[in-house]
C-alpha cells in the first residue's frame, strides 16, 4: 500500500489547509497532483511546492460551483497528464450565522460550493472513472451528524454530500471505483475551525469533550484519505468515516 507513482490525483480546495495536506501526501507518494482552487496566490504556491523529483503539480484556478470551470479543468488534466485516478472532493466553506441571519444568498452559496461543487466535479470526470477504476474521497464533516460547525447551511450541505457519495458508490462500485467519505471534526487548520472557537477559552472548553484531548491534525485526515484512495483498499465502499478523536462516543 501507499505507492501512487504515476497516478494522477486532483484535490479541490487543494491550495490550503486539509486539501493542501492531502495533495502533499499524494505527491510525496509519487502522484502528480492537480490543485483546483479559487485562491490563485495559494494555488500557484502549492503547485510549485508539489513539483519535485518525478512529480508534477498543476494549479487550475477554479470555482467548483461553476460546472463549465470543471469541464475546463478536465481538459487541462488530460492535456497535461492524459488520465485521472483520484478525486478528492475537499473544497468547502462555512458560515456561522443562525437561521434568522442567514440570507438566501448565503444559503445558496453554501450549497453551490459544498454540494453542487461535488456534483460538478464528479460529473466532469465521471466517464473517465468508468474506464479507469480509481478512487473518490469526499471530505465531509462530523457536522453532518452533529448539526454543528456553522449555521444550518453547513451541516445541511455536508449531509447532502454524504448522500451523493452513497449514491455514487452504488453507481461506480461495480466499475471498480472506491467511493468514500471522511467526516472530520475540529481539524486544526488555524482558520475555518476558529470561526466557531475564537478564543483560547472556547478551545479549552471543547477539548474537554474530546476523549483524546487534542484537535485533529491535517495529517490525520491526509493519512486516511491516502488509505481510502489506495487501490489495495477495495472493500471499504460508500462509507463515511468519522474522525473526531472519539467525541461522538463520549
Binding site for ligand NAD (CB under 6 A): 12-13, 15-19, 37-39, 42, 62-65, 90-94, 113, 117, 139, 141, 184-187, 189, 191-193
Residue 13: CB minimum distance to ligand NAD, A:
3
Taking the complex as a whole, how short is the minimal distance between the CB of residue 189 and ligand NAD, in angstroms? Answer: 4
Q: How far apart are the first and last CA of the chain?
A: 32
Least separation in angstroms between CB 130 and ligand NAD: 25
Q: Which is nearer to ligand NAD, 131 or 219 (CB)?
A: 219
Decide if 59 contacts 33 (C-beta within 8 A). no
| Catalytic one of 126, 138, 154, 235 | 154
Q: How near is the Cβ of 238 to ligand NAD at its closest, in Å?
A: 19
Pull the grid cell for residue 178. Answer: 472506491
How many residues are present in the chain?
Answer: 250
Assess contact for 231 and 156: CB atoms under 8 A.
no
Helix/strand/coil percentages in the chain, nearest 5 = 50, 15, 35
Rounded to whole angstroms, what are the CA distances from 202 to 3, 158, 185, 209, 244? 40, 24, 15, 12, 17
Question: Catalytic residue at 154?
Answer: yes
Closer residue to ligand NAD (CB): 58 or 113: 113
The residue (of 30 and 219) whose beta carbon lies closer to ligand NAD is 219
66 alpha carbon, distance to own chain's centre: 17
Q: Which is nearer to ligand NAD, 96 or 130 (CB)?
A: 96
DSSP β-bridge partners for residue 233? none
Q: Whose grid coordinates read 483498499?
A: 233
Active-site residues: which are they?
Answer: 154
Amino acid at each position: 500500500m501507499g505507492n501512487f507513482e504515476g497516478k494522477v490525483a486532483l484535490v479541490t480546495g487543494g491550495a490550503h489547509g486539509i486539501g493542501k495536506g492531502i495533495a502533499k501526501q499524494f505527491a510525496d507518494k509519487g502522484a502528480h497532483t492537480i490543485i483546483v482552487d479559487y485562491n490563485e496566490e495559494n494555488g500557484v504556491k502549492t503547485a510549485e511546492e508539489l513539483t519535485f523529483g518525478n512529480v508534477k503539480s498543476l494549479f487550475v484556478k477554479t470555482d467548483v460551483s461553476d460546472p463549465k470551470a470543471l469541464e475546463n479543468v478536465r481538459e487541462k488534466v488530460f492535456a497535461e497528464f492524459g488520465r485521472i485516478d483520484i478525486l478528492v472532493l475537499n473544497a468547502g466553506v462555512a458560515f456561522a450565522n443562525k437561521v434568522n441571519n442567514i440570507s438566501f444568498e448565503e444559503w445558496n452559496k453554501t450549497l453551490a460550493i459544498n454540494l453542487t461543487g461535488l456534483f460538478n466535479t464528479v460529473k466532469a470526470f465521471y466517464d473517465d472513472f468508468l474506464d479507469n477504476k480509481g478512487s473518490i474521497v469526499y471530505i465531509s464533516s462530523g457536522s453532518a451528524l452533529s448539526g454543528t460547525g456553522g449555521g444550518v447551511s453547513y451541516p445541511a450541505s455536508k449531509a447532502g454530500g454524504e448522500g451523493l457519495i452513497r449514491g455514487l458508490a452504488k453507481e461506480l462500485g461495480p466499475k471498480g471505483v472506491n467511493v468514500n467519505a471522511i467526516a472530520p471534526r475540529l481539524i486544526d487548520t488555524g482558520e475555518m475551525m476558529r470561526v466557531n472557537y475564537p478564543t483560547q477559552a472556547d478551545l479549552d472548553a471543547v477539548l474537554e469533550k474530546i476523549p483524546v484531548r487534542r484537535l485533529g491534525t491535517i495529517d490525520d485526515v491526509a493519512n486516511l484519505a491516502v488509505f481510502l484512495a489506495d487501490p489495495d483498499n477495495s472493500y471499504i465502499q460508500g462509507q463515511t468515516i468519522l474522525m473526531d478523536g472519539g467525541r461522538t462516543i463520549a
